[in-house]
Amino acid sequence: MAPKASVEKDFESSLKELEQIVKQLESGDISLDESLKKFEKGIELYKECRQTLLSAEKKIKILSDNLKEIDYQE
């Protein structure tokens, strides 16, 4: 399992790269071929970021559920 700092860095750098790709695509200053390549890379980055967020959401739910169990036991 990757260390927390590594996961955060990967997420942050992926998100930043995705934002840059969106700006490039919106500018219209790149060729159609380059736009398609950037779009494909953007989809990959989006999937990675989404998976990271879904994983974090699951962990938060598990931790919250565990906290509820502790509260009920007390």
Element (H, E) at 29: none
What is the number of domains present in the chain? 1
Residue 66 has what pLDDT? 85
Q: Please, which residues have CB within 8 angstroms of residue 38's CB and are 6 or more apart in sequence?
A: 21, 24, 25, 30
13: left (phi over 0), alpha (psi -120 to 50) or beta: alpha
Question: Which residues of the chain fall short of a pLDDT of 70?
Answer: 1-8, 71-74
Residue 69 has what pLDDT? 72
Q: Please, which residues have CB within 8 angstroms of residue 42's CB and are 6 or more apart in sequence?
A: 18, 21, 22, 25
By residue range, what is the domain housing residue 32?
Answer: 4-73
Residue 73 has what pLDDT? 59
Residue 4 has what pLDDT? 64
What CATH number is associated with residue 47?
A: 1.10.287.1040
Q: How far apart are the first and last CA of the chain?
A: 33
